[in-house]
Chain A
Amino acid sequence: AQSVTQLDSHVSVSEGTPVLLRCNYSSSYSPSLFWYVQHPNKGLQLLLKYTSAATLVKGINGFEAEFKKSETSFHLTKPSAHMSDAAEYFCVVRGPGGSYIPTFGRGTSLIVHP
């Protein structure tokens, strides 16, 4: 079984300040982990993915995430928030074991203040 917990339903930052969106996962196997972003009335877009290569993963738009097996975490960060980063962010886990069904977290709404 696999699950993912996004620790914050909302995160509010000022433009130009760092962003941290937290995600913990549970998986019986070595998982693949993803972060997706969903802007209002849009489909989901992949930000980055971890697939057992480098533990620090760089994605699009300046986002990156670090896979920490000991902490079962995959937090998403960005050094400086931009107004266009305001959106819903989803952490996703996919594992082997005969099923690659992705499990989504409930989402974190990122609010960016000018």
Chain B
Amino acid sequence: DAGVTQSPTHLIKTRGQQVTLRCSPKSGHDTVSWYQQALGQGPQFIFQYYEEEERQRGNFPDRFSGHQFPNYSSELNVNALLLGDSALYLCASSFISGVRTGELFFGEGSRLTVL
């Protein structure tokens, strides 16, 4: 049973560019959430997708957008990249029924470096 998979694992972009990160949830999970983890910090919630809609959003600007596909996989898009967007981006999946107390299953992340 495959866990949460993310791609790419590493990427380098320059300021002003756009980036797309991808996530496939654990088999059977229907909810995907994205997190930004800056160096030396804990993960910060970006947004959560369920039934192809953004359900909850953290304190991130509109440059951060996402999508969920019918097969529950998800993309995170960041436009107009800033140096401060350099971070590890984590995807987590779960069941919507377990959103309140259920375990989140995390991927290994995509490390984005903005030069």
Contacts and interface: CB of A to CB of B under 8 A. Distances in A.
Tell whether A and B belong to one assembly. yes
Contact of A32 (B44, B56, B101): B101
B41 A107 contact: yes
A82 interface: no
A16 interface: no
B43 A90 contact: yes
A49 B100 CA distance: 12
A51 interface: yes
Contacts of B42: 90, 104-107
A102 B103 CA distance: 11
A78 interface: no
Contact-size category for A: 20 to 34
B104 A102 contact: yes
A49 B48 CA distance: 21
A22 B103 CA distance: 21
A59 to B, nearest CB: 11
B106 interface: yes
Which residue, of A42, A94, A101, A104, has the highest number of chain B Cβ atoms within 10 A?
Answer: A101
A41 B108 contact: yes
Interface string B61-103: 0000000000000000000000000000010100000011101
Given A44-B90, A49-B101, A101 B45 contact: yes
A105 B92 CA distance: 17
B109 interface: yes
29 contacts: A32-B101, A34-B103, A36-B106, A41-B108, A42-B108, A43-B4, A43-B90, A43-B106, A44-B43, A44-B90, A46-B103, A46-B104, A49-B103, A51-B101, A90-B42, A90-B43, A96-B100, A99-B56, A100-B56, A101-B48, A101-B56, A102-B104, A104-B42, A104-B43, A106-B40, A106-B42, A107-B40, A107-B41, A107-B42
